[in-house]
């Protein structure tokens, strides 16, 4: 049984074995406050219609529904999952929040967040790679699991409990206190200073700030630019710049 924090954010929990997509299931249900989890997704998806690798029994696939539409929810969710996962990793682990919807460990994605809205309801979907070291060819070098970062397999149940409790707490805090605490946590863990960054069109950049609206502020060749949508590209780790100039990941 998944524990609830009693915040009222989660009012109903559905635990599934296999489902096409937790987001689709939650949106079809059509009610706010629903948490859907699954052991496997047969048609998991990420942003821009990409397939989300969803093998059975290895990772976490969950969706929380909320009323209305708020583009900052993906950032709130990233902050919440980051805080939940960090204690499971070693002290030297580098886990970062990549705006607007990923968690990155050593340059590789361990978590993706997909927010979808239908009929005044938003589904906040989370795919978190917990265990496993084998990846499809197209994900090799781009995806990682918490097991790979921690050095040993993790208890999925314990990770799920931590993620759900953190989601409730951060969503409740966001509603009560606004975006300020979320922004503060992001600026602490989401600046990606250990990486060489570029804009989507290939221009070198650095993260300068985040606005209260959740938009990222980039320093592009000394000029500040607001990033409203899209993403930034991790070109390489700074300490590997001289060693492997051709390695890229997104």
The secondary structure of residue 45, as a DSSP letter, is B
**CATH 2.30.30 assigned to 195-240:** yes
pLDDT digits (tens, 9 = 90+) for 155-196: 999 999 999 999 999 999 999 999 999 999 999 999 999 999
CA count, 13 A, side-chain hemisphere, 38: 25
Asked if pLDDT for residue 57 goes beyond 90, the answer is: no
Cα dihedral sign for 129, 131, 133, 135?
negative
Predicted model pTM: 0.91
86 — pLDDT class (breaks 50, 70, 90): very high
Residue 93: what pLDDT?
Answer: 84
Per-domain residue ranges for the chain? 12-189, 195-240
The more confidently predicted of residues 139 and 163 is 163
Instruction: Name the residue among 140, 147, 121 with its Cα closest to residue 23.
Output: 121
> Which CATH architecture best describes the domain 12-189?
2-Layer Sandwich (3.30)
């Amino acid at each position: 049984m998944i524990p609830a924090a009693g915040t009222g954010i989660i009012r109903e929990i559905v635990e599934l074995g296999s489902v096409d997509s937790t987001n689709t299931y939650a949106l079809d249900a059509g009610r706010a406050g629903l948490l859907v989890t699954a052991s496997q997704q047969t048609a998991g998806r990420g942003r821009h219609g990409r397939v989300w690798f969803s093998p059975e029994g290895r990772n976490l696939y969950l969706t929380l529904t909320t009323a209305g539409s708020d583009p900052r929810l993906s950032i709130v969710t990233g902050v919440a999952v980051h805080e939940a996962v960090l204690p499971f990793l070693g002290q030297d682990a580098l886990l970062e929040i990549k705006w607007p919807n990923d968690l990155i460990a050593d340059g590789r994605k361990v978590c993706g967040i997909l927010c979808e809205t239908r009929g005044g309801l938003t589904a906040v979907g989370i795919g978190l790679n917990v265990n496993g070291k084998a990846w499809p060819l197209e994900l090799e070098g781009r995806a990682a699991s918490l097991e790979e970062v921690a050095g040993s397999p993790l208890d999925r149940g314990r990770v799920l409990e931590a993620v759900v409790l953190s989601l409730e707490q951060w969503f409740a805090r966001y509603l009560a206190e606004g975006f300020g605490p979320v922004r503060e946590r992001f600026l602490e863990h989401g600046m990606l200073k250990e990486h060489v960054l570029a804009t989507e069109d290939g221009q070198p950049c650095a993260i300068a700030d985040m606005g209260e609206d959740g938009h990222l502020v980039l320093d592009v060749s000394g000029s500040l630019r607001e990033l409203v949508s899209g993403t930034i590209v991790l070109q390489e780790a700074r300490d590997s710049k001289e060693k492997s100039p051709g390695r890229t990941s997104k």
